[in-house]
């Protein structure tokens, strides 16, 4: 896994994910705790296949469908961020420390936080539209990958 570009407390992140599951009435099983731990400890994006391979090591009976369904539900809850990268849909634990956005390397998928938020520069939104969330992601190549990538 990539070195941690985002400083977050692993235990707090695990608790936040588990609390979100509880609030939706989910039973907190060992499998779900393992899922929360995987995302809390990972600094990059994980594909459903990555998550399935990890879960299968501890729980050989787990199905890919179950893993995928849980990822989508956690994403719908706002606990996981999802993104489409070159090889499909990927997930990561949502950053909760403060509001920021990400630069994402298309090669190694490292994410680098940056503080600028375009919402502040947006003209007035229609008054009858209630914004509940937004995302702003910038794709490119990090300093390690850029020299090896033809421009």
**Domains (range + CATH), the chain:** 10-93 (1.10.10.10), 101-148 (3.30.1490.190)
At residue 3, does pLDDT exceed 90?
no
Span of 2-6, 7-11, 48-52 with lowest mean pLDDT: 2-6
First to last CA, the chain: 26
> Beta strand 137-140 with 101-105: parallel, antiparallel or unpaired?
parallel
What pLDDT score was predicted for residue 28? 92
For residue 35, give the nearest of 23, 89, 20, 25 by alpha carbon: 20
- Tell me the percentage of the chain whose pLDDT exceeds 90: 29
For residue 99, give the nearest of 80, 84, 117 by alpha carbon: 117
Which phi and psi (to 5°) does residue 146 adopt?
-55, -45
What pLDDT score was predicted for residue 5? 42
**For range 64-91, the mean pLDDT:** 86
């Amino acid at each position: 896994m990539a070195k941690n570009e985002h400083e977050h407390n692993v235990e707090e992140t695990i608790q936040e994910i588990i609390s979100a599951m509880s609030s939706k009435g989910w039973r907190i099983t060992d499998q779900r705790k393992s899922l929360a731990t995987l995302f809390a400890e990972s600094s990059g994006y994980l594909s459903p296949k990555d998550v399935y391979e990890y879960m299968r090591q501890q729980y050989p009976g787990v199905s890919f469908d179950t893993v995928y369904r849980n990822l989508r539900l956690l994403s719908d809850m706002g606990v996981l961020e999802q993104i489409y990268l070159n090889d499909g849909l990927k997930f990561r634990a949502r950053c909760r420390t403060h509001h920021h956005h990400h630069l994402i390397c298309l090669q190694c998928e490292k994410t680098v936080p940056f503080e600028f938020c375009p919402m502040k520069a947006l003209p007035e939104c229609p008054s009858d539209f209630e914004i509940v969330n937004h995302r702003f992601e910038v794709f490119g190549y990090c300093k390690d990958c850029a020299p090896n990538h033809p421009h």
